[in-house]
Amino acid sequence: MAVFVLVHGSYGSGWSWGRVAARLRAAGHDVSAPTLTGLGERAHLASAELGLGTHIADVVGVLEYDDLHEVVLVGWSYGGMVVAGAADRVPERLAHVVHLDAYCPRDGQSAADQQPPAYRAAHEERLRAGVWLAPVPTGAGLTRFVEAGWLSATEAQAITARYRPNPIKPLLEPLRLTNPAAVAVPRTYVYCRQNTGDAAQAAALRARPDWGYRELDAPHLAPFTHPSEVAALLEAIA
């Protein structure tokens, strides 16, 4: 059986992985889904100085203090920044790194560097105004998933109720990758085909021989909308 550590995205928490984690555990796998500092049930720890390094340390701490080895480390969305940093810190503990519709940063890149310029501009404007938290997405953003039958109205409400404003600094902070040993860790990018905003990144990674590549016929919120498919794919990669 595999050992999975699942890292959530912006605004989310370990709870975001609940449906996927339940399926993996039912299949006999060891699963951890930590909540990053300043989010979810740890939102009270948010601060203007909280950066990407803290989130990387959160995950490295789970790997080290739970003495986990041969880990399949999965990052979804912003979680891709975190797992890339963790892999650079402790590659010897990892069997595979999976970027689920996630950022795939190069050395020196931030999350904002992988978004259109308006993304950085909006966050920098907030910081100039003294606002260091990015507001949560509105519940209206989940309407199409309810209409498609992928979520019930109750499930959509539960998701938005658990979102928390995201510290801005980690989204703008560049990631430094300095450990040559980390290059040897196998990596797979999973493209959710209904997230057309990531099509260019998907095409680039699909062409790289040093990355594995998979696709899901799902939107970006696949852990919520397609948990069985996500779990099955993670099992196949592991």
Domains by residue range for the chain, with CATH: 3-237 (3.40.50.1820)
CA distance 158 to 203: 34
pLDDT of res. 169: 98
* Helices vs. strands in the chain: H and E counts, helices first: 10, 8
Is there a contact between 101 and 77 (Cβ–Cβ < 8 Å)? yes
pTM of the model: 0.96
For residue 232, the 8-state DSSP code is: H
pLDDT of res. 25: 98
CA distance 40 to 15: 8
Is there a contact between 227 and 202 (Cβ–Cβ < 8 Å)? no
pLDDT of res. 59: 98
pLDDT of res. 199: 78
Task: Output helix, strand, coil percentages for the chain, rounded to the nearest 5.
Answer: 50, 15, 35
What are the start-end ranges of the E strands in 109-223? 133-134, 166-167, 187-192, 212-216
Q: Divide the 238 residues of the chain into consecutive groups of 10 and give the mean pLDDT of each group.
A: 97 97 98 98 97 98 98 98 98 98 96 95 97 88 90 93 97 97 96 83 86 94 97 97
